[in-house]
Amino acid sequence: RRGRRRPVRVYMDGCFDMMHYGHCNALRQARALGDELIVGVVSDDEITANKGPPVTPLHERLIMVRAVKWVHDVIPDAPYAITEDFMNKLFNEYNIDYIIHGDDPCLLPDGTDAYALAKKVGRFKQIKRTEGVSTTDIVGRMLLCVRERSASDSHNHSSLQRQFSHGHGQKIDDSGSGSGTRISHFLPTSRRIVQFSNSRGPGPDSRIVYIDGAFDLFHAGHVEILRLARELGDFLLVGIHTDQTIRCIALIINNCYLCTYQDDLNPYAVPRAMGIYRRLESPLDITTSTIIRRIVANHEAY
């Protein structure tokens, strides 16, 4: 009968390590297959056992996944393989109707299909994996940039970050293999982009807050600062610097013009003078450098 239908609940699991737009696009498609999307975020130990240690620990991955507007609820510490027990728990305790995954093969270390059981009982649905973006590729690009730093460079983290900001996005590896930067095959058509927007503009009396940044390697620290910025007003507008601007800043810093940059060219001088500038303390102590340091440490350990 109309209006009395139980919501269709769909489950998608994943590592969501260094969450990228491929993951967001997967969550968007998964949500479209039901009414409520429940996301299982795989535990650190399970990821380590199946793919090697994650760059972002569970609590950060949870912040990222929970922030996505299509996610209704999360199950932390989800197992990597959907065992019979866990599948029954999904069906009976969480009222899940379908289990969803991208159309890429997802194999367990023993070579078997991680979703075989769900497929067998006809409760599996597939979404299209987003080509041209993966955590492995991002990590590879970062290691490449770090490796390229000159021997004379100091090994501190800001130096790593400069190398990364300066070097990434410039090299194109047309072979499509290896760890060089590749061209993304994600086609941001207006029809697709509009799905990511909530199609809402500010109202006539809205307090509009503006925040800008590079948002390179979008991480849990970004999510938290955007949340705080949003709380300052009614409508949050986010400015994203162009690749060229980021490269210029990296160059300025590399050439040690940082002092000049801070004194004379402060990008916030105008809003400051107007008295509409606010400085927010980040609630999470994560920066791009933190992420780079973890990647290098993981790489050296394994």
Residue nearest to ligand CTP (CB): 102
Question: Which C-beta is closer to ligand CTP: that of 22 or that of 167?
Answer: 22
Cα separation, 155 vs 153, in Å, equals 6
Question: Which C-beta is closer to ligand CTP: that of 68 or that of 249?
Answer: 68
Question: Which C-beta is closer to ligand CTP: that of 130 or that of 181?
Answer: 130
Smallest distance, Å, CB 138 to ligand CTP? Answer: 8
Tell me if residue 38 falls in helix, strand or coil.
strand
Question: Which C-beta is closer to ligand CTP: that of 32 or that of 276?
Answer: 32
Smallest distance, Å, CB 234 to ligand CTP? Answer: 33
**The dihedral sign for the CA sequence 138, 102, 65, 115:** negative
Smallest distance, Å, CB 54 to ligand CTP? Answer: 9
Smallest distance, Å, CB 2 to ligand CTP? Answer: 32
Smallest distance, Å, CB 106 to ligand CTP? Answer: 7
Residue 91, number of CB atoms within 10 A of its CB:
17
Smallest distance, Å, CB 22 to ligand CTP? Answer: 3
Question: Which C-beta is closer to ligand CTP: that of 17 or that of 224?
Answer: 17
Residues forming contacts to ligand CTP in the complex (CB under 6 A) are 12, 14-17, 22-23, 26, 101-102, 104, 129-130, 133-136
Q: Residue 270 carries which side chain, given as an amino acid letter? A: V
CB-side neighbour CA atoms (13 Å) of 200: 10
Task: Kindly state the DSSP code that residue 237 receives in the 8-state scheme.
Answer: E
CB-side neighbour CA atoms (13 Å) of 254: 18
Question: Which C-beta is closer to ligand CTP: that of 114 or that of 253?
Answer: 114
Cα separation, 70 vs 78, in Å, equals 19
Helix (H) or strand (E) holding 74: strand 73-78
Tell me if residue 9 falls in helix, strand or coil.
strand
